[in-house]
Structure 1
Amino acid sequence: MSVEVSCPRCGGAVRPPDLMHSESRCLRCGPVPPLHVPEHIGAEIVASVVDRVTVDAEPPHRPAVPLWCPWPLPQGWTMTGVAYAGDDRTGVRATVVACAGPEPLGGGPADLLFVAEEPGVGLGTRFAGIIGPDPGPQLAEALTGPGPGHPEHHGQARIRVAGHPTPLWLANSPTDRSAYAGEARGMWLYAIAWPASAGHLLAEDVVLHDLSEWTPPGLVYGAPSPYLHGKA
């Protein structure tokens, strides 16, 4: 399996541990859990990432980081990528699942990324295009800001995550995308959509399933996501 390795925060090159450093590191961001992105997507690729996530969750590592994927997939949508951030020293600390399909308002193709990560990784904020390693400050502003009907009110999406209603709050992302963030299973959860109008998909009946618990045999795979391969 051919894999691209990069910094989860900036997308730059990552140096592996050596005699001087015990951790992987980015020259710009410092020590980071490297992001591993398989060049292609398919059932075997998903199974290999699931194996890595579940093995790293065994003692003495951390609890498993979920692989959140819409299931069932919206009509016409395919899974277009999967990746994880971590190494042998840290275990898996973040995952991302990419999907693509028709934009819900009929404007052409759309892409969605779902990121689950431990605090401080910075993968979700990188794809969301917001500053900092996590969305905490923006969520605090949204939760204390003006209520519905006010022109500065931050929107909210409600999806079901592993059977539980889960609110996601709109982040102040670049105008080419819409980004929502919240919390599930004690970790950050991001949903990032391109173009921005594709975020309307999250207003529909979206249900996220953890692929590390069970991978549906009916998953349909599409062309690799450009947003996992350097476009974002």
Structure 2
Amino acid sequence: MNSDWRCDIDGPVLPLYIAERINAQIVEAAVAKVRASHAGEATTPLWVLWPLPPGWMVTGVGLAGDCRSGVRATVLACSGPAPIDRGPADIVLVAEEPGVGLGARLAGIPGPDPGPFLEGAHDGAPAHAKVRAAGRPTPLWSVKSADDRSAYVGEAKGMWLYAIAWPASAGYLVAEDLSLCDLVEAVPSELVFGAPSPYLHGSA
């Protein structure tokens, strides 16, 4: 018998748990689970846009991993007005160890890691965007994602960092010198929550 979760395409995969609702207590529970699964070790970050851009809210959270391996990836969704047309927009932030594949799935690219799809990162080209992740300047490169979204990938705290935006034009927000806070280190009391994002519940 095999207790692994299995994908018809990729074989064994880690189970993914997405909260059905989102509020401060659910975020605190997710943070506690991350901390407990990495006792005494470096933890998987749980990134959030912070401060939140005007009109933006936290709209979802999820964890990938099991009781044997611990939390190997986190995902958090934020929603708000798009920077260009002011229509609705969503940004999903993923932190994951190499080989997990959650960020690649949400970006709409095959395989577990973004390496083959990073545009210019292997040629010494300048980064397409930069964010501040836990106070550190973090370069991000565009990846060839699905047509209805834009995706940027870099490394922060020794793990892949994905920023995936719907619609594709909302990726412009990533280029606006965003700051990211690791909720595992501290959860701001001023977080604002909204209706669950569809992009964490099978609509990606």
- TM-score using structure 2 length: 0.95
Count of aligned pairs? 204
1:165 counterpart SS class: strand
**Which whole-Å deviations, capped at 9, do the CAs of 1:54-75 have from their partners, x for residues lacking one?**
000115xx63100000111000
Instruction: Give the counterpart of 1:204 among 163, 176, 181.
Output: 176
Counterpart position of 1:42 = 23
Could you tell me whether the CA contact under 8 Å between 1:178 and 1:196 is conserved in 2? yes
Counterpart position of 1:4 = none
Q: Is it true that 1:187 corresponds to 2:165 in the alignment? A: no
Counterpart position of 1:8 = none
Residues 43-82 of structure 1: matches in 2 within 5 Å?
Answer: 43-59=24-40, 63-82=42-61
Alpha-carbon RMSD across the aligned residues, in angstroms, is 1.6
Q: Is it true that 1:142 corresponds to 2:125 in the alignment? A: no
1:81 counterpart SS class: strand
> Where in structure 1 are there 5+ consecutive unaligned residues?
1-19, 149-154
Relative contact order (alpha carbons < 8 A, sep ≥ 6): 1 or 2 greater?
2
> What amino acid is aligned across from residue 143 of structure 1 in structure 2?
A
Alignment partners' CA distance in 2, 1:144 and 1:183: 14
Alignment partners' CA distance in 2, 1:92 and 1:34: 10
Residue 24 of structure 1, CA deviation: 3.4
Could you tell me whether the CA contact under 8 Å between 1:23 and 1:89 is conserved in 2? no
Alignment partners' CA distance in 2, 1:131 and 1:30: 13
**Which whole-Å deviations, capped at 9, do the CAs of 1:189-228 have from their partners, x for residues lacking one?**
0000000110010111310000011101100000000000
Instruction: Report percent identity of matched pairs.
Output: 60
Counterpart position of 1:3 = none
1:86 counterpart SS class: strand
Residue 174 of structure 1, CA deviation: 1.6
Of structures 1 and 2, the larger Rg is shown by 1
Instruction: Give the counterpart of 2:72 among 89, 93, 96.
Output: 93
> Where in structure 2 are there 5+ consecutive unaligned residues?
none
Residue 22 of structure 1, CA deviation: 4.4
